[in-house]
Structure 1
């Protein structure tokens, strides 16, 4: 039987083939970033690709968030210790946040799994630490804060993984980060206030609170989702932004699409949740644009109500192949991309959405399903001072270490590789700083492509102006 010390030694021995100091390397950066960006837009709604580029054009940070494929390409050329298991795949600092468990407890963790796929754990950690460097520079915190938050990320991951290495399998499985834990760890008044505000905001972000913001009642008393271009629009209205030949637009009605979704979706839920879902009746469905990197992929929101007219919003989000798929030899176990996302989320989170499941839509497109917005809350980086920003860096890294430990069952090997010194901290600080420089160069080339017309970028205001009365 392999002992705890044996597993630590396996991790330490991996340094021979992959020295920790080599983790500073940037990888495959001799490429045309614009071509990779174009390839990541294939298969998306064409008109919304212009909005995606518009959002990426806002800053180097939104550019970084908007194209995980580019860094995945680069990371494929970097050294790793040779351990592969399901990782997040798009592990930047805005893909963490608060969410409600089925028991209505508020937890903090990784909360975006669109790109989940087997891969080296180093790729997640490198994307996370680089995202903090990019954001710190974008928000003009200064070089000292940039270094501080990057060191905090790696040191926190190191410490948290060492703790995970000593825990039992069930201990790791049940472990979670609550907002009460974050309050106890907060070191400054400003950080405590930020956590308290997030808790209060999450408690308000319910389906009932969302109802008047997203819906309207017609003269017949029928409840429907309100169009709000370019964010929300109905598939078959004159204001639809779908391409003429899109399979969602050519479908007979939104009801037929919903029925197609529900046929397979119900089978992915546990029996008690199927029973709960049966107590709701669908009222309307519309297209919803989400995020930065996801813009142009198909996402629909269905409004359902129970017999007392209390709402439930379900989000059906297209599950495209992971950006990691072309860069790693190990294949995902699930052939259905919606199943890949759901199983990855269930594996990496300590608790998951009550209605999390997967399905297929018209023409066999893959989708996964979850509640829209229910008690979900993200960081408001613009309001963070240096201490709060660093505290956020620590908790993101703690959450990532827990997710990796849970997904892999190999915390001791990872901890053995990292060790107790600052060797990996120093290497990934160097990586983050250099990749932030690389990101700025790529952003400049992206801006040039937009100015020269190779890429078309449009803002929300541009789309809204097209439909002014």
Structure 2
């Protein structure tokens, strides 16, 4: 953000951006002349070979799960579209399931973006388009009629624009401290049903603690807590249920343990002094490999279980950070460390970030970042939502995305000036969302044909779990 410009000059810059890119032109779906199978194969390179079929299996469930796992396709398609020229760190994968509730370090329940694997400097429009298309694709999957889908997408975009206009009037510090709490969400809900659901979700989140997770994931053996294998989702890297194959060499030797200790020390060095002192009060109990999400399946991810002197647990997730699809298709300079990219981006975009967020370099030069596995984290159960609740959820996501962008880029003035009252932008984004839903369906059909022909191998969690049953 140019700090030497007046507010009037910045508003003028926003309006001038309409000459570079008319708001109606935001409906352009981009370059879809590509083979989705080829791009997905490229995106799977470097992952654990035995887990790539599981990734494809999870993507094959529906056009919506396919969309969740194929951020690389949309980034490719958007690369040739025109933009307003307002670039800053964006989420890169802002679909509706990558928003949710979690606790701040002060134990306040907030709603925000919660996945930053693809975060990188890029056009703000890319995030809004990914969010808009996700509601269109999810709506079609749920059998919502097109007229209602249009209303839902419009709700998300109009809320984004209205909140951006609001944030354009915030001081720098007020914007930095802005936070979307569940209490504020309940206050702004337009129906009693929505308020009740928000309160019920908050109550559910309160029970999703480290302590509640301990009994589900581990058992005490000879005075020590041991994580329980549940392949393919959770297994010990060097154990009989391991799926790492040749890749397990880095995880089952004494040399690896030394490297892990070195990597952990490097991670501790990225934390504030008080957080390092806090972790010092815990003892490591066990480590296991965990398969997470849809798009992340096959990347290296570990769970570390610690307990303090009172036997209370702390679960840390160590997740591999790979090249962002945004960086791949909108390069803005060399990334020195992918884990640092994720952590820095998350801290910029979120109103309050995980107290244990940090990064490190692991064996074989892989980049990782750390965060808590669960701390009152909760996601929306979208498939059970009524049309009214889904529309309300769309508004909340639009609000959260506007807050994130306003903080990250400091360009709320320019974006709000470009968007105006939001109607034309909402019309264009809705047109884009419906068109991209159609493209996603085509890509999904191509993907399914590749799976059925054997060109790609797709296996479900149930199929892979059956391999380990006696």
Alignment partner, residue 149 of structure 1: 152
CA RMSD of aligned residues (A): 1.2
In 2, Cα distance between the equivalents of 1:51 and 1:35?
Answer: 17
Alignment partner, residue 57 of structure 2: 54
In 2, Cα distance between the equivalents of 1:411 and 1:375?
Answer: 30
What SS does the corresponding residue of 1:315 show, helix, strand or coil? strand
Partner residue of 1:243 out of 238, 242, 245 = 245
In 2, Cα distance between the equivalents of 1:238 and 1:253?
Answer: 20
Deviations 1:79-122 (A, max 9, x none): 11011110000110000001111110011111111100000000
Partner residue of 1:31 out of 12, 17, 34 = 34
8 Å contact kept, 1:244–1:250: no
In 1, Cα distance between the equivalents of 2:331 and 2:108?
Answer: 38
Alignment partner, residue 374 of structure 1: 375
Given the two structures, how large is their TM-score scaled by the length of structure 2? 0.97
Worse-matched range after superposition: 367-376 or 185-194:
185-194
Alignment partner, residue 443 of structure 1: 444
Alignment partner, residue 453 of structure 1: 454
Q: Which runs of 4+ in 1 moved over 4 A?
A: none
8 Å contact kept, 2:158–2:422: no
Matched, 1:259 2:261: yes
How does 1:25-424 map onto structure 2 within 5 Å? 25-218=28-221, 220-249=222-251, 251-252=253-254, 255-331=257-333, 334-424=335-425
What SS does the corresponding residue of 1:359 show, helix, strand or coil? strand
The verdict on how the C-alpha distance between 1:94 and 1:148 changes in structure 2, with shifts beyond 3 A counting, is: same
The verdict on how the C-alpha distance between 1:114 and 1:39 changes in structure 2, with shifts beyond 3 A counting, is: same
Given the two structures, how large is their TM-score scaled by the length of structure 1? 0.98
In 2, Cα distance between the equivalents of 1:63 and 1:295?
Answer: 13
State the shift of 1:243 in Å.
2.2
8 Å contact kept, 1:348–1:406: yes
In 2, Cα distance between the equivalents of 1:336 and 1:251?
Answer: 26
In 1, Cα distance between the equivalents of 2:134 and 2:250?
Answer: 35
What SS does the corresponding residue of 1:325 show, helix, strand or coil? helix
8 Å contact kept, 1:260–1:362: no
In 2, Cα distance between the equivalents of 1:198 and 1:433?
Answer: 30
8 Å contact kept, 2:320–2:366: yes
Gaps of at least 5 residues in structure 1 are none
May I ask how many residue pairs the two structures share in their alignment? 467
In 2, Cα distance between the equivalents of 1:258 and 1:140?
Answer: 48
8 Å contact kept, 2:20–2:84: yes
8 Å contact kept, 2:281–2:308: yes
In 2, Cα distance between the equivalents of 1:279 and 1:196?
Answer: 34
Alignment partner, residue 14 of structure 2: 11
What SS does the corresponding residue of 1:324 show, helix, strand or coil? helix
In 1, Cα distance between the equivalents of 2:33 and 2:333?
Answer: 26
In 2, Cα distance between the equivalents of 1:343 and 1:370?
Answer: 13
What SS does the corresponding residue of 2:417 show, helix, strand or coil? helix
What SS does the corresponding residue of 1:86 show, helix, strand or coil? strand
State the shift of 1:184 in Å.
0.6
In 1, Cα distance between the equivalents of 2:422 and 2:195?
Answer: 30
8 Å contact kept, 1:173–1:350: yes
Gaps of at least 5 residues in structure 2 are none
State the shift of 1:250 in Å.
5.2
Deviations 1:175-218 (A, max 9, x none): 01000011111122221222112101110010000000000122
State the shift of 1:254 in Å.
6.8
In 2, Cα distance between the equivalents of 1:250 and 1:310?
Answer: 27
